Each structure stands twice: as structure tokens, then as C-alpha cells.
Homo-oligomer: A and B are copies of this chain.
Amino acid sequence: MSAVLKDLTADAVSQVKIDPYPASEKIYVQGSRPDIRVPMRKITLSDTPAHFGAEKNPPLYVYDTSGPYTDPNVAVDLKKGLSWVRVNWILERNDTEELEGPTSAYGHQRLHDPATQHLRFEHIRKPRRAKAGMNVTQMHYARKGIITPEMEFIAIRENQKMDAMRELWKDQHPGESFGASIPDVITPEFVCSEVARGRAIIPANINHPELEPMIIGRNFLVKINGNLGNSAVTSSIEEEVEKMLWGIRWGGDTIMDLSTGKNIHETREWILRNAPVPIGTVPIYQALEKVNGKAEELTWEIFRDTLIEQAEQGVDYFTIHAGVRLKYVPLTAKRMTGIVSRGGSIMAKWCLAHHTESFLYTHFEEICEIMKAYDVSFSLGDGLRPGSIYDANDAAQFGELETLGELTQIAWKHDVQTMIEGPGHVPLHMIKVNMEKQLKECGEAPFYTLGPLTTDIAPGYDHITSAIGAANIGWYGCAMLCYVTPKEHLGLPNKQDVREGIVTYKIAAHAADLAKGHPGAQARDNAMSKARFEFRWEDQFNIGLDPEKAREFHDETLPKESAKIAHFCSMCGPHFCSMKISQDVRDYAAEKGLNEEEALAKGMDEKSKQFLEEGADIYHKV
């Protein structure tokens, strides 16, 4: 993006842009009404060179999470926040009301705290809430058969103009989806029915009108989440906002703000007001800060106030570790690494200290009441996830998963959207049973996993140990993959770690989409491979997930511009190129109209002569 944010309150941050991808243009596909404008990225491709057939290559459309920041026609001022693309949709449903101000005690207090005024977002909007007795969740609408603008937006978005690119992927490999039901074309009706049955969620708080809606479910594209957040040790608001922008630039579908340090409330406001993607949080983290880190001093009342505080800011999904029941805590005693979930350990400590059932569990229905008044989705946390290969799939983990299934049914009774969090550290051969058990216990509610990491032995490379697990579980049916950065187990990720983590997880998610046979998933691979075969170097860079890195790596050995139109690369050099022979084979077959048998039977003789006559040089000069 244009500059590292030095100080969000300074004028310098006005009109922030995210550097657009090369050869890319932001387009909007309009829906049934003018205010349904679905963003996509259009990548313009160059023509096929003459000796490969001189074709026009139609543009490639790809999913775009970067929001208005990459739209040259929109000036974004971080101090004012993004425009409210959903505001009419919310208002016209006429089931919410604007409040006088924050109704949480803490939200009210922070709004008027002079000590934090200098770092407060300036344009705090009055929050909205469901009118008394109303339920404003997308699930509630879906179950009434109402197709919301959000659902239509998502249908267009998920299709990614695949129809316009059908020529490119019509022969794609049939997948193995293990029982998913992915239609050829995503309709608003399909989105609606998936949300109604709880098989997908649309995290979209009514207080996050800046949001470009997206969906999480096994019958849609596999999504990825990027975590950020400060800690007591490090980071500032500026850094966290910048990480959010960086995360969506590289393709994060949702962002979780896991801040545990200073000014959590204010950091979140800045992030939300500038985030075009759903924002998730773990409210117990902030609640813990409110009791100065003493878990045993947590109360339902403090937690409840925190939920309302965050719901009124616009958080789209809450991780809530309501499955950490008292009875499961002793099951962790024999583990190698005990409880590694921060939220899980907070609740375990609380349960031990009070020797009573978790207040998250006992107050679960009251939590549902709050969720449905703002349409906050549940991400039911796996507080007892394994933190080591040794602890994978143990009684504590699976016991909790069963409870999460029970809680899902309660949430659904309230029409509250729900997804389920999953492990963690799991060896490759024990991943599938996690997915199967989750589908069974939780009625196909979307699964959202951290990796899983397939080995413990590679700190510094846990984006990779976990991408292996993530691709597999995505293939098996996981709906969203929570990224792991190279810093996992070692420190807080910086900007470059966020990029590395996001791109790695885009790979895992896409590998899963291909394996599931998601319609059109292969379009981008095919476009890339065709460009590769035709030595269209610029197109190869531009089609890839990280054009900058690809170009930089190419240029390390062949920096000259001429090398980007050369029909060779630094691997083989100019004298012999593997790829070129194939074009000779193909040209010949096409020219003669031979099928393969004939080519074999009689064509080769002639080809043989022709080759020798031409000097048998397969390297054609450009």
C-alpha cells in the first residue's frame, strides 16, 4: 500500500490505497438492484504469440477481498472509514432501531474516556439493534424464505463470472467431495437454503455496514482467515490496521482481531470501520483484560457486557469457548501439552477456581439472544484442541466437539448462525476422522480449523506444516481455514508473515477446491498453465497468487526485460527447451488432422523428414 501507516490520527493516512495487482482492474457485477455491486478482479491477459496460434486470451476473473482500497475511483480515508454498502439493505428490513449510544457499560465508558480520546476513531456511528422481539440474523431470514441482498451478493460473488470463463475450465477434472453438494451455478436461492439449514453462514453484523458479504460453508469456495492483534508485549493500532489491509490485499476472506494488549476497544473500532471483510474476535480475551488478567474474577455480567460492546461495534463473529465444560478439564491432565487454546485455558481456570460449570455453557441461551439482536455468528471455539501430535483426537477434544454439536442445536433453535472451530495439531492420517465427526456431531455446520499442523518439529515453518493439513481438511469438507504464519509458536507475525501466511492458505484452500471439483476452480490453473506453455511470462506473474514475488524470483536470474518475452527460462537456458517440443508435436497433429492412432501409424515418417529438413531446431527465435 501507499505507505506504512505512521499515525492513524495524522492527515497522512487520508486516501489510503492498497497497491493494485498488476494488469488487474477492479470491476463490479451488478445484481438485481443498483446497490448490489459485487467486486471482482479482472486480470487482462496478453495474446498468444503467433507461433503458438495467435489466440486472444480472454480476461481472468478472480475473487477479490481487497475492498474499495483497490478501486481507483474511490478515495478511502481511514479516519472516516469505508462507505456503508449494506446500509440500505439493513434499513429497509425495518426490523432494527438506532440506539442513542452504546448500551454496554464499557462501550459507554470508553466513548467518553478523555484518556483515550487521542486515539479514538473520530466518526463513531450510533449502534443499531434488533427491535424488541425481532431476530435479524441471515439464518432467520433464510428460514422464512427471504432472499436478502446479502445472499444475492454472495451468489454473484461465488460464481466469479465462471460462466464467462467456461471455455477455460469446461474439461476440469471431476472432484471427490466426500458428500458435499456443490451446484454448477450458485443461485441466491441456493445460498438461502444453505444458510437456512445451517450448512453455511454469512457473518454480517448489522453494525458492520461496510462489509462486502461473503459466505462460509462446505458447498462454497473454501475460505481463509488471517489473525492479527496486539499483545501486552508488542504492537500498536497503526500496525494492526495495516496488517488488516495487508491481509485483505493478499486474499484474507475474514480477519480475526485477537488483541490482548492495550486499547483493545479502540483498535477494534479502527479495524471494523475500515474492513470490507468480516471481523471475528474472541470476546473472552477482552473480558479477561477487564479483570486484569485474573480469570477467576470473570463473571457472566462482565462477559455479557463485552459481547454487547463488541456486537454494537460491529464484530461479525465471536469465538466462544462454551464447550469447555467442567467435566472435560481433568481429561487434559495426562496430555503432552495440556490446554493450548487461550480461551480454553481461561475457561478451564475459571471452572477450576469456582468448581462449577462454565458460565458460557450455563448462559448459552442468553448469549444466543444477544447474537440474534445484532446478527453476530457463533464460532464455537475448540478450547480443548490438541496442541501437539501426541494429544491429537483425544477424549478431551472429542468430548468438547460433542458439546459443540449440542450447542449448535441450541443456537439453531434461535436462528443464530454457527460455525465450529477445530484443531490444531493432528497427524495426516488422523485428520479425516475430525472432519467426519464434526459433520456428524454438528449437523454439517461449517467447520473452521487452525491448520491442522501435521508435525510439531518445524518451528519457523508452521505455515507449511499446517498448510498440508489445511489442504487435506479443506478437501474433506472444512469450510474455512485459519492461517498459521511462519511465526507460530515463536512470536507475533509481522506484515511479511501475514503475507506468507495468507498466500500459503490461499494455496491450501485452492488445492482443496480443485480436489472437491468446485465448478470453475480449475480456470485459474488452466490460464496459468497455458501462459506457461506459451512463455507468456508477464501473464504467469499476473495470474499467480503473488505476482510481485514471482517476478522478483524470475528477475533474480534473468533481470532483463527481454527475458520476459524469451522462450526459455534460467532452468534450461536458451539452447534447449522442454516445453517447445510439445508445440512441435501439437502443430503437426493439428495441421494433418490426424488422430493419435494415425499420427502414430503414418504421421511420424513425414514429421521426421520435415524436422531434419528444418534443421531440427526446436528453439524458435522470437
Chain A positions near chain B (C-beta within 8 angstroms): 171-173, 175-176, 231-234, 260-261, 288, 293-296, 326-327, 329-342, 344-346, 348-349, 351-355, 387-392, 425, 427-430, 454-461, 463-465, 467-468, 471-472, 475, 486-487, 489-492, 494, 503-504, 506-508, 510-512, 514-517, 522, 524-526, 528-530, 532-533, 540-541, 543-546, 549-550, 552-554, 556-558, 569-586, 588-590, 594, 596, 599-600, 603-605, 607-608, 611-612, 616-618
Contacts and interface: CB of A to CB of B under 8 A. Distances in A.
A391 B296 CA distance: 59
- Residue from A294, A517, A578 having most chain B Cβ neighbours under 10 A: A578
A616 to B, nearest CB: 4
Copies, count: 2
A389 B514 contact: yes
Nearest to A509: B455
A330 B599 contact: yes
21 contacts: A173-B389, A260-B572, A295-B576, A330-B603, A332-B586, A333-B585, A334-B586, A338-B533, A338-B586, A345-B579, A388-B533, A391-B529, A454-B511, A457-B544, A459-B541, A460-B544, A461-B549, A464-B504, A467-B467, A489-B540, A491-B556
Contacts of A581: 338-339, 345, 348-349, 352
A553 B487 contact: yes
A336 B529 contact: yes
Contact of A600 (B330, B334, B391): B330
Given A458-B546, A573-B261, A492 B557 contact: yes
A618 B338 CA distance: 14
Across the A-B interface, the 10 shortest Cβ-Cβ residue pairs: A338-B582, A232-B573, A388-B529, A355-B608, A428-B515, A460-B549, A491-B557, A333-B589, A330-B599, A454-B511
A514 B428 contact: yes
Given A428-B475, A475-B428, A529-B336, A459 B231 contact: no
Contact of A510 (B345, B455, B569): B455
Given A558-B491, A581-B339, A459 B553 contact: yes
- Residue from A338, A461, A605 having most chain B Cβ neighbours under 10 A: A461
A576 B346 contact: yes
A290 to B, nearest CB: 13
B491 A570 contact: yes
B232 A339 contact: no
Contact of A532 (B295, B489, B549, B553): B489
A603 B172 CA distance: 59
Contacts of A463: 464
A306 to B, nearest CB: 16
B579 A337 contact: yes
A294 B355 CA distance: 81
B455 A514 contact: yes
